[in-house]
Amino acid sequence: MVLFDLNGTITNPAALGRPWDSPDLGASVLSLAVHAAMVCLIIGRYCDFGDHISCALRLRVAERELDPGRIDEALAIATTLPPFEDASRALDALGGAGRTLAVLTNSGQEAGRRTLRAARLAPRFERILGVDAVGSFKPHPATYQYALRELGCDPSSVVFVTSHRCALEGAAHAGMRTAFVRRGGGRAPVPVRPDIEAPDLAGVAAALLAR
């Protein structure tokens, strides 16, 4: 079983900056939204990840003195983020080799399903799971335990693929094998070392299939 993170791993947040012709805005918004979700995790509060995206977007737009009249356009894009160019090829390679694929997203199940349908990737996945089922966010152990129950898998039989360091550490703590996608550079976190590390999904897929 190969279990994927969604935002920033399969889907490209750069599209969030499209209304302002500012592709770097998207990664900054996603990073801030993830940070806000981690704060909620620590204090035991949960709200939809889309709310974190909305708040982060409004803050970044204000900081950069961009036109706030285009925020609604960006929020509409956020519900159907496009995939990275290598996503379809990587998923097809894994599926064609008989690997079972699933998604666990902080966006929530329905939002994740909507995004993957818009990207025409939903049929590649056996299950699309969201952390809203447990009212927490990755890397909380409950999110991974929920996924393992739903998938009926032993942790050691799952490879979790992500571009987010905190999600990778959570998956490793849950006993899963891990694959880190170095979107935009950087290295995987220490002391946790992923079983696989590559600059993109195509590299991760190739490494998985070589094993």
Q: Write the pLDDT tens digit of every residue in 159-208.
A: 999 999 899 999 999 999 999 999 866 565 557 789 999 999 999 999 99
Nearest residue to 50 via CA among 81, 75, 87: 75
Work out the average pLDDT over 144-173.
95
Q: Pick from 143, 159, 154: which is nearest to 196 by CA?
A: 159
Rounded CA-CA distance 161/167 in Å is 9
Please compute the mean of the pLDDT values over residues 108-118 and round it to a whole number.
95
13-78 — its CATH code? Answer: 1.10.150
Q: At what angle do helices 201-210 and 87-96 cross, to 10 degrees?
A: 20
The pTM is what? Answer: 0.92
Question: Who wins on pLDDT, 184 or 55?
Answer: 55
DSSP state of 174: T
| Among the ranges given (7-16, 77-86, 106-115, 187-196), the one the predictor scored with the smallest mean pLDDT | 187-196
Amino acid at 130: G
Which percentage of the chain shows pLDDT scores above 70?
97
CATH number for region 2-11+81-210 = 3.40.50.1000
211 falls in which pLDDT band (50, 70, 90)? confident
Class of residue 88 by CB neighbours under 10 A (exposed 0-12, middle 13-18, buried 19+): middle
- The full set of domain ranges for the chain reads 2-11+81-210, 13-78
Nearest CA to 160 out of 137, 182, 176 is that of 176
Tell me which of 40-54, 91-105, 122-136 is least confident: 40-54
